[in-house]
Structure 1
Amino acid sequence: MHKHILIPTDGSETAQKGVDFALSLARDLDAKVTVLTVTNPYSRTEMTARARWKGSDEEMNEFHRKQKEAADKVLHEVKANAGKMGVDVALVHVSEARPAEAILHMAVARGAHLIVIGSHGRRGVNRLLLGSQTAEVLAHAAIPVLVVK
C-alpha cells in the first residue's frame, strides 16, 4: 500500500491542508514520510525590474541565504507538527527548481508510493493564467497523487 508518502509544501495555508491530511494518513498507515519544499531560481529579470540586480557574489549569497532560511522555517514547522503526532519525517529542500519538476523527481528518487499535495482548486481561466503545479504533478506522476482542497 502507501508505505512512503511525499508531502510537498511551500508553507502556505493551502499547502498546510495537504500537510495536515498527509501527516494524519501517515500516522494511521505507519508510513514513512518525506517533506519537500522547493525554492525558485534567482530571477535576473525580476531583480532588474526592481533595479537591484548588480550580479554580485554578495547579492547571490544573500539570495541563497534567504531562500535557505525560508525553506528551513517551512520544513521545521512541519517537523514540529509531525513530532506532536508521533510521525517521523525526512526533510528535503530543493533550491533553484520548478516545484512540479522537483516534486516529480523527488517522488522517484525517494521511492515514494503516494504524493499528497494541497491545491487551491482553481478552475478555468484562473488555472490557465496562474498555472498549476498541482495539475502538472497530476499529469506526469507515475504514482498516485492525492489532492487536498
Structure 2
Amino acid sequence: MYKHILIATDGSELARKGLEHGLSLAKPLGAKVTVLTVSEPMRPEVERAARMGGVDDPAGCFDQQIDAIMKERFAFIEQRGSEHGITADLMHEIDDSPAEAIVRFAKLRGCDLIVMSSHGRRGVQKVLLGSQTSEVLANTTIPVLVVR
C-alpha cells in the first residue's frame, strides 16, 4: 500500500504521537520511513535584538542551538525507530513555511503518505494560531494521516 512514509515532527509531545503511528504503520507495510523536522530561520528582528543585547554572532548561536536540539531529537527518533525495528532517514530543513517545506519535501522524495499530528483547533483559535497541518492538507495531493 504505502512504500515511503514521511513523518513530520516538531519534537513536541503531540508530534511524538504522530511519530509512533508512522513507525507502527511502516513496519508491517515494509515501508521506507523519512522523518522531517522543519525549523523556521532566525527572524531579522531577533538577530537585531540579540546584537543590541551584546551577542556578537547571533546567527552562529542560533545555528548551535538548532544543532543541539536536532541531535537530541534525532537520537530520540533513532531510539524509537530501533524499538519498532525501523531505520528512518532523518532530515532537517530550515524554511519560513514548515507546511510548504513538508509538501515540497514529500513530493521531491516520492513519499506516498505524510504522517503528522494536529491539535485539532477550530474557528478563531485556528485562525489566530495557524495550523501547519491544515496548510499541508490544503496544498498536497499526497494522502495525509493526521494524528490527534
| TM-score (norm. length: structure 2) | 0.92
Aligned to 1:43: 43
Change (3 A) 1:37 1:88: same
- Divergent runs of 4+, >4 A: 54-57
Distance 1:107 1:6 in 2: 7
Q: Partners in 1 of 2:6 and 2:25 — Cα distance?
A: 12
> TM-score, length-normalised on structure 1?
0.91
Retained in 1: the 8 A contact 2:9–2:116? yes
Give the paired residue count.
147
Q: Which residue number corresponds to residue 7 of structure 1?
A: 7
* Counterpart selection for 1:52 from 50, 53, 57: 50
Quick one: distance in 2 between partners of 1:72 and 1:110?
A: 23
Q: What runs of 5+ residues in structure 1 fail to find an aligned partner?
A: none
Segments of 5+ residues of structure 2 without an aligned counterpart are: none
Tell me how far apart the structure 2 counterparts of residues 53 and 31 of structure 1 sit (CA, whole Å): 46
CA contact (8 A) 1:40 1:96 kept: yes
**Are 2:82 and 1:83 aligned?**
yes
Distance (whole Å) between structure 2 residues aligned to residue 7 and residue 97 of structure 1: 19
1:32 maps to what in 2?
A: 32
Question: For residues 21-75 of structure 1, what are the alpha-carbon distances to aligned partners after superposition, in whole Å with 9 as ceiling and x for unaligned?
Answer: 1100001211100000111111122344xx3235977221111111122122212
1:63 alignment partner in structure 2: 62
3-state SS of the aligned residue for 1:62? helix
Cα deviation, residue 101, structure 1: 1.2
* Larger displacement relative to structure 2 (95-104 or 35-44): 95-104
Distance 2:51 2:43 in 1: 9
SS of 2:41 mapped into structure 1: coil
Q: Give aligned-pair identity as a percent.
A: 47
**In structure 1, what is the equivalent of residue 73 of structure 2?**
74
CA apart distance, 1:142 = 2.0
Q: Calculate the aligned-residue CA RMSD, in Å.
A: 1.7
Q: Residue 50 of structure 2 contacts residue 58 of structure 2 at CA under 8 Å; is this kept in 1?
A: no
Q: 1:53 to 1:142 in 2, by over 3 A?
A: farther
Partners of 1:52 and 1:46 lie apart in 2 by 6
